[in-house]
Amino acid sequence: GGGASSTSLPQGRYMIIFFISLLSFTFTDIMGLEPGNSGILPEDVKLAMEGHMMEGYKFHHDSPLSETDQYFNREPTLEDKFHILVCVLPANSPHMHETVVEKIKRVRESTKDLNIPDMAIVTKIDLSTKEIMEDVKKVYTSAYLHKNMKSLSSMVGIPLNYMFPVQNYSAGEMERDNDMDILLLTALKHMMIYGSDFIDNQLHP
């Protein structure tokens, strides 16, 4: 999604291991889609999803990753590929620049071509309405949040039942909040389910 300027950020990978369920997964964090000619190119997102982009590559606003680049992976394995694409959208800003919306749609078209599932995490729900700021448990009963999420769904084309609201922990916030964690873990659970389904389809077409 859009946001603060994110020029030439390297691709990063983050692994979290759940010892209870013996499942492990990797997050690949890439720079955001931004208005105009800023941000990552949709072509680069597709190359990353296909597994052609090696860790350490720095994005360029004017040209996608070239096959001659040292960070181009010519023979990606299933492990190198994206198993799910997660779009992060802000609940408190339901109106996005038209060029950002167009880029998101182009990226989603790529997921369809590659049969990669996609979903959205809707962040900053506490900043969207006072009732959720005071009680996060009202996330599913807030008419205002539902309206904003429905607007985002209509703009980018991600079905509402594939959009998961979460509340961010503030910087320096040390105390755990079960209600916030439930939302985060619900989104994470569905990422794992959709990603696992993709892997199964690749291994057993």
In the 8-state DSSP scheme, what is residue 59?
-
Sign of CA dihedral 57, 8, 92, 136: positive
Question: Which of 6, 86, 89, 4 lies closest to 45, judged by CA?
Answer: 86
Give the pLDDT band of residue 23 (cuts 50, 70, 90).
low
Residue 91's SS3 state is coil
Question: Which of 12, 17, 8 lies closest to 59, judged by CA?
Answer: 8
Q: Over 50: is that where the pLDDT of 32 sits?
A: yes
Q: Over 70: is that where the pLDDT of 5 sits?
A: no
Q: Over 80: is that where the pLDDT of 3 sits?
A: no
User: What percent of the chain stands above pLDDT 90?
Assistant: 67
Top-confidence residue, 125 or 35: 125
Give the pLDDT band of residue 20 (cuts 50, 70, 90).
very low
Which pLDDT score, from 0 to 100, does residue 60 have? 85
Three-class secondary structure assignment of 15-27: EEEECCCCEEEEE
Q: What residue segments make up the domains of the chain, in order of their start?
A: 12-203
Top-confidence residue, 27 or 54: 54
Amino acid at 67: E
Q: pLDDT digits over 112-162, tens only?
A: 999 999 999 999 999 999 999 999 999 999 999 999 999 999 999 999 999
Give the pLDDT band of residue 173 (cuts 50, 70, 90).
confident
Question: Which of 8, 3, 53, 62 lies closest to 28, judged by CA?
Answer: 53
For the sheet with 118-123, list strands across it: 85-90, 118-123, 163-165
DSSP 98-140: HHHHHHHHHHHHHHHHHT--EEEEEE-GGGT-HHHHH-GGGGG
Question: Which of 71, 88, 72, 75 lies closest to 27, judged by CA?
Answer: 88
CATH of range 12-203; options 3.40.50.2020, 3.40.50.300, 1.50.10.10, 3.40.50.720: 3.40.50.300
Which pLDDT score, from 0 to 100, does residue 18 have? 43
Whole-prediction pTM: 0.83
Q: How many angstroms separate the CA atoms of 131 and 128, rounded?
A: 9
Q: Over 80: is that where the pLDDT of 64 sits?
A: yes
Q: Over 60: is that where the pLDDT of 10 sits?
A: no
Q: Over 50: is that where the pLDDT of 102 sits?
A: yes
